[in-house]
Amino acid sequence: MEPRLDVFTNPILGKVVKHLIAASKPTTESSLPLAVQELVRLRASQINGCGPCVDMHFKEAVHAGEDPARLNMVAVWREATVFTDAERAALELAEEGTRLADAAGGVSDEAWANAAKYYDEEQLAALVCVIAIINAFNRANVMIRQPGGTYEVGMYGH
């Protein structure tokens, strides 16, 4: 599969990607656990069918010490016993925040309250930003048909 546009040579895409990466920096510096961030990125990317993001976030999570068996269960987290209640709350928020068009009113009060039981205001803000930014990356990659499978850990400098 050939991408419709080249992210690395297209001046508009290149600038936007750099800004999205820069926008992600505060989340990586937040107190929201990196493992939770990667679980959320992986789940949103699975929902959106973004091959390069699934590839990237699986590999980054493994590199950071995450168990590949747990990552394999992200797509079926509701039925899996390998996630903490806090991780499950973050995954629920990620799903509802990714599938906004599927639910009248967007993210439910129940999903928000569940996440707020485990995460403080800073962490909730980081979760919102992680979900929003990964969805932006997913949508761009899917639209331009960016292929997945060739990512190497750290290749984009983060």
pTM score, whole prediction: 0.95
Fold of 33-144: AhpD-like (1.20.1290)
What is the reported pLDDT for 158? 57
Task: Write the pLDDT tens digit of every residue in 17-29.
Answer: 999 999 999 999 9
What are the pLDDT digits (tens) for 60-103? 999 999 999 999 999 999 999 999 999 999 999 999 999 998 87
Per-domain residue ranges for the chain? 33-144
Q: Closest Cα to residue 17, out of 5, 28, 8?
A: 8
At residue 105, the pLDDT reads 79
Q: Is residue 155 very low, low, confident or very high in pLDDT (cuts 50, 70, 90)?
A: confident
- pLDDT (tens digit per residue) in 32-42: 999 999 999 99
Judge whether 89 and 98 are in contact, CB under 8 Å.
Answer: no
SS3 at position 7: coil
How far CA 84 is from CA of 77, 99, 140, 154, in Å, comes to: 10, 22, 31, 27
Q: Give the count of beta carbons closer than 10 Å to the beta carbon of residue 58.
A: 22
**CB distance 134 to 52 below 8 Å:** no
User: Quick one: average pLDDT of 6-23?
Assistant: 94
Distance in angstroms between the alpha carbons of the first and the last residue of the chain:
26
DSSP-derived secondary structure letter, 100: G
Contact 63, 153 (CB under 8 A): yes
Structure tokens at 128: 């919102």
Question: What letter does residue 153 receive in the DSSP assignment?
Answer: T
Residue corresponding to tokens 């987290």: 77
pLDDT above 70 covers a percentage of the chain that reads 99
What is the pLDDT averaged over residues 146-151? 94
